[in-house]
Amino acid sequence: MKKEDIKRHLHTYSVYGKRCTTINHAFASAIAPSDDYDEKKINEALEFLGQNPYEDLKCVFCNDEAETWDHLVGLVKNGELRRFGHQIGNLVSCCKKCMNLSYHSRFLNSPK
C-alpha cells in the first residue's frame, strides 16, 4: 500500500452507502474533523513512525504489509465524540489483522 491511499480516508464519511456500521459511528464519521491531503505532512508523519514514505507502507503495529488505514484514537468513546478525526496525525497504516484487534492488543503485539 502506498501513502497516496490515505486520500480515501481524509474526509468525512457519508452516512449512506458505506459498510455496515452503527448509526452512532456513521454520525460521528460524518461530523469528525478531517485534513486535506498534504504530502509534506504525510511524509513527516510516516518518517516519525519509522516508515519510508516512498516505499510500500508497513503495519505500524506488527510490521507486516499495510493494507489499510485506521484511526489511532477512535472517533467515539463512551458515547462521546472525541477531538480526533480523519486527520493525518490520527491515521496509521496497518494490516487488517491488527485493525481488528483491540487497542491494547495492538501494542502488546507490536515489535520491540
Site residues for Zn ion per CB under 5 A: 59, 61-62, 64, 95, 98
Place of cell 491511499: 5
Q: Judged by CB, which is closer to Zn ion: 15, or 62?
A: 62
In angstroms, rounded to a whole number, what is the distance separating the alpha carbons of residues 37 and 59? 20
Rounded to 10 degrees, the C-alpha dihedral 37/40/42/46 comes to 170
Nearest approach in angstroms of CB 45 to Zn ion is 18
Torsion of CA 109, 12, 22, 93, to 10 degrees: -10
For residue 99, the minimal CB distance to Zn ion (Å) is 8
Q: How far is CA 28 from the centre of its chain?
A: 15
Considering the complex, state which of residue 6 and residue 28 has its C-beta at the smaller distance from Zn ion: 6
If you compute the radius of gyration of the chain from its CA atoms, what whole number of angstroms results? Answer: 14
Q: How far is the CB of 109 from Zn ion (least distance, A)?
A: 7
Nearer to Zn ion, 38 or 65 (CB): 65
Nearest approach in angstroms of CB 37 to Zn ion is: 24
Q: Pick the closer one to Zn ion by CB: 24 or 109.
A: 109
